[in-house]
Amino acid sequence: AGCVHAHRAHGHLDLHLLGLPADTNPLGLDAPTVLAVSPLLRELILACTRGPLDDTPERLRLRAVLLDQLRASPQQAVQLPAPTDPRLAAVCDLLRRDPADPRGLAALAVIAGAGERTLSRLFRRELGMTFPQWRTQLRLYHALRMLADDLPVTTVAHRCGWSSTSAFIDVFRRAFGYTPGVHNRPRQDEPMAARRVGEPL
Stretches where the chain sits below pLDDT 50 are: 187-201
pLDDT at 118: 94
Q: What secondary structure does DSSP assign to 80-147, as a single string?
A: -----SHHHHHHHHHHHH-TT----HHHHHHHHTS-HHHHHHHHHHHHSS-HHHHHHHHHHHHHHHHH
Give the Cα separation of 200 and 132 in Å (integer). Answer: 22
Contact 111, 94 (CB under 8 A): yes
Question: What pLDDT score does 3 carry?
Answer: 75
Q: What pLDDT is attached to residue 23?
A: 84
| Domain presence at residue 52 | no
- Structure confidence at residue 194 (pLDDT): 39
Amino acid, single-letter form, for residue 58: E
- What's CA 91's distance to the chain center, in Å? 20
Supply the Cα-derived Rg of the chain in whole angstroms.
19
The reported pLDDT for the residue numbered 88 is 94
- Report the distance separating Cα 20 and Cα 67, nearest Å: 10
For 53, list phi and psi in degrees, rounded to 5: -90, 80
Assigned domain for 35 exists: no
State the residue range of the domain holding 146. Answer: 86-195
Whether 182 maps to a domain, the answer reads yes
d(CA 121, CA 117): 6
- 190 in any annotated domain: yes
Whether 65 is in a domain gets the answer: no
DSSP state, residue 188: T
**Model confidence over 110-139: pLDDT tens digits?**
988 999 999 999 999 999 999 999 999 999
Q: What is the CATH number of the domain that holds 124?
A: 1.10.10.60
Instruction: Please give the DSSP secondary-structure letter assigned to residue 164.
Output: S
pLDDT, position 185: 64
What is the pLDDT at residue 77? 66
Per-residue pLDDT, 80: 81
SS3 158: helix
The reply to whether 58 falls in a domain is: no
Domain count across the chain:
1
Assess if residue 55 is contained within a domain: no
Q: Is residue 16 part of a domain?
A: no
Distance CA 3, CA 45 (A): 22
3-state SS string over 4-71? CCCCCECCCCCCCCCCCCCCCCCCCCCCCCCECCCHHHHHHHHHHCCCCCCCCHHHHHHHHHHHHHHH
